[in-house]
Amino acid sequence: MKSLSITLALCLFGGASIASAHGGGVDGQGGHNNRRAGNYHFHRGPLDGRTYDSKEDAAKALSANSPGVANEAATDSNRSTERPLFDLAPYRPYQPSDAQVIAHKAYTFQYNEAHEQAAWVLYRITAEQLQASVSRTDDFRRDRAVTTGSATLADYRRSGYDRGHLAPAAAMAWSQEVMSESFYLSNMSPQDPGFNRGIWRQLEARVRDWADLHGEVFVVTGPVLESELPTIGPSGVSVPAYYYKVVVDLRPPGVEGIGFILPNGSAGQSIGRYAVSIDSVEAFTGIDFFPVVADSVEEEIEGNILGEHWGFELREVPTLKQSESWGKIKAK
Q: CATH number of the domain that 134 lies in? A: 3.40.570.10
- Mind giving me the DSSP string for 82-124? S--SS--GGG--B-S----EEE-SSEEEEEETTTTEEEEEEEE
Parent domain of 140: 6-19+77-331
Is 64 within a domain? no
Distance CA(24)–CA(32), nearest Å, equals 6
Q: What stretches of the chain show up as alpha helix (H) in DSSP? A: 6-13, 55-65, 69-75, 153-156, 176-181, 193-196, 199-214, 278-285, 295-302, 326-331
Residue 270 domain flag:
yes
For residue 227, being part of any structural domain is answered with yes
Predicted confidence pLDDT, tens digits, the chain (332 residues): 333 222 222 232 233 232 333 334 566 566 766 655 566 666 656 566 666 666 666 666 666 554 333 333 333 333 444 566 778 888 899 888 889 999 999 999 999 999 999 999 999 999 999 998 899 999 999 999 999 999 999 999 999 999 999 999 999 999 999 999 999 999 999 999 999 999 999 999 999 999 998 899 999 999 999 999 999 999 999 999 999 999 998 887 777 888 999 999 976 778 888 888 888 899 899 999 988 665 555 565 555 555 556 666 433 444 444 444 444 443 44
Residue 59 belongs to a domain: no
* Number of domains, the chain: 1
User: How far is residue 310's CA from residue 318's CA, in Å, rounded to a whole number?
Assistant: 14
Distance CA 45, CA 28 (A): 10
Q: Which amino acid is at 184?
A: Y
Asked if the structure places residue 135 within a domain, the reply is yes
Among 32, 41, 165, 214, which one carries the catalytic annotation? Answer: 165
Task: Specify if 36 maps to a domain.
Answer: no
32 is catalytic: no
For residue 112, what are the β-bridge partners?
A: 117
On whether residue 27 sits in a domain, the answer given is: no
Kindly state whether residue 281 falls inside one of the protein's structural domains. Answer: yes
What b/e string do you get for 233-272 counting C-beta neighbours within 10 Å, with b at 16 or more? bebebbbbebbbbbbbbbebebbbbbbbbbbbeebeeebb
